[in-house]
Amino acid sequence: MIDMDIAEIFKAGGIVMYALVLCSIAVAAIMIDRFLLYRRAEKELESFVMQLPLLFSYASLTDVYEKIKDKDNAAACLVQAGVKAALDGGDVRLALDNAYGQVAAQLRCRMNYLSMIVTLSPLLGLLGTIGGMISSFQIFNLQAGQPLAITGGIGEALTATATGLCVAIFALVVHTYFAGKMDTVLTQAEQAEAFVAAELRKRGA
């Protein structure tokens, strides 16, 4: 087995390796950004949703708003919007829909970039490999009778495909993880939205 250091592997993959490195950095940055966002969106989310019936059962809308106005999870944003609209005499349904749309947009933000990188990275790797194979055939033409010239070049060129697949797998794992998180958070938020809409309707809001 040929011993290659990271610099040699990077060089063997060709110019597309720079694009793949940028893709991997982008995935890492999105992962950190989404982790911080979802940690905030999930903060006390389940317990907050479970406590809503008890909170609305004994407190006025003004008291409810005072108790939840400092909460920062996804469901709290919806409840705050609905209760505030009811207190201000506004359209509760519209306020809830707008708040849900904003929450969903925040949770989905940048997920499309991960999907793009999952598709793009293997293609970039394949492009680098094809370029390397073309170069290897050219070398073979110049060095007739030396088959190792072409096989060695092809072996090195395949590093681009391998790197592209690694980046794609990384992006796919990150996307799948946060897609699951998003479904969980939105489900809890929808439960809170449905409860608040029904409760405010009972109170004539």
Please give the structure tokens belonging to residue 20: 């793949």
121 part of a folded domain: yes
205 residues of the chain, pLDDT tens digit each: 445 567 776 776 678 889 999 999 999 999 999 999 999 888 888 888 898 898 888 778 888 888 888 888 999 999 999 999 999 988 999 999 999 999 999 999 999 999 999 999 999 988 888 877 776 666 555 555 455 555 555 666 688 889 999 999 999 999 999 999 999 999 999 999 999 999 888 876 5
6 part of a folded domain: no
Pick the closest to residue 72 from 54, 91, 92, 45 (CA basis): 45
Pick the closest to residue 183 from 50, 74, 76 (CA basis): 74
Domains of the chain: total: 1
Give whole-number Cα distances, 136 to 19, 39, 200, in Å: 22, 49, 72
Q: How far is CA 158 from the centre of its chain?
A: 29
Q: Is the dihedral of CA 85, 90, 92, 98 positive or negative?
A: negative
- One-letter identity of residue 143: Q
186 part of a folded domain: yes
d(CA 146, CA 96): 72
Please give the structure tokens belonging to residue 165: 């697949």
d(CA 85, CA 10): 57
4 part of a folded domain: no
Domain that includes residue 78, residue range: 13-202
| Phi-psi map region of 90: left, alpha, beta (phi>0 left; psi -120 to 50 alpha) | beta
Query: Residue 48: CB partners within 8 Å, gap ≥ 6?
Result: 68, 71, 73, 75, 76, 192
163 part of a folded domain: yes
Are 108 and 79 in contact by the 8 Å Cβ rule? The answer is: no
1 part of a folded domain: no
Query: Residue 72: CB partners within 8 Å, gap ≥ 6?
Result: 40, 43
d(CA 168, CA 114): 9
Residue written as token pair 């592209």: 164
pLDDT at 152: 56
Other residues' Cβ atoms within 10 Å of the Cβ of residue 169: 13
pLDDT at 2: 46
86 part of a folded domain: yes
